[in-house]
Structure 1
Amino acid sequence: MTEYVIRFLVGGAVVSAFAMLGDVLRPKSFAGLFGAAPSVALATLGIAIWKHGESYAASQTLSMMAGAIALAVYSVVVCQLLMRACLRALPATLLSIAVWFAAAFGLWSLAGGHT
């Protein structure tokens, strides 16, 4: 229970900091980019270091990087299906989920495949 409270407080504080950073930057579309994901990742890594040590947190960062790359691949595939294949949003995203799974688990296995 305490871990969740700490994660909530640290995540909220870092979300606020990133929101302020996003508000200062131009264009304003960057504000959402600095919203939740970086702060949740930082809070999770802080707790991982505190509870499990640096080597465990290092393996978690590899998993986070694999997920981020897989999300980028997914996003490119969705955009291509929307623009070039003229698919509607729902079929394009549903088809691209398979690409995300393949990229995420493929990169995760290359990164060591353990958490």
Structure 2
Amino acid sequence: MTEYLVRFLVGGIVVSAFAVLADVLKPKSFAGLFGAAPSVALATLGIAIYQHGPSYAASQSLSMMAGAIALVINSVVVCQLLIRARIRALWATMASVVVWLIVAFSLWIIAGMQT
């Protein structure tokens, strides 16, 4: 219960800080980018360091980075399928999930071999 309360408080504070940052920056589309993911990741890593130590949090951060890289590649594939191949959004998204899984798990395996 305490973990959830800390995650809620830390996440809320960091979301507010990122919202202020997003309000200052242009364009306003940065607001969504800075809204949730960084604050949740920072709160999760803070709790992981507190409960499990820095080495555990380091492995978690590698997984977060692998997922972020896979999401970027997934987004590029979706855009290419929508624009160049003129595939419907549902089918482009479903097809790119396979790409996301392959990239994410490949990077996860590579990162796991280095630790």
TM-score (norm 2): 0.96
Gaps of 5+ in 2: none
Counterpart in the other structure of 2:54: 54
Deviations 1:16-64 (A, max 9, x none): 1101100000111111111000000000000000000000000001000
Counting only pairs closer than 5 Å after superposition, residues 98-109 of structure 1 correspond to structure 2 as 98-109=98-109
Structure 1: gaps spanning 5 or more residues: none
Deviation digits for residues 41-91 of structure 1 (CA, Å, limit 9, x no counterpart): 000000000000000000001000000000000000000000000011100
Task: Give the structure with the larger helix fraction.
Answer: 2
Runs of 4 or more off by more than 2 Å in structure 1? Answer: none
Give the match for residue 7 of structure 1.
Answer: 7
Tell me the amino acid that sits aligned with residue 65 of structure 2: M
Count of equivalent residues:
113
How high is the sequence identity, in percent, across the aligned residues? 75
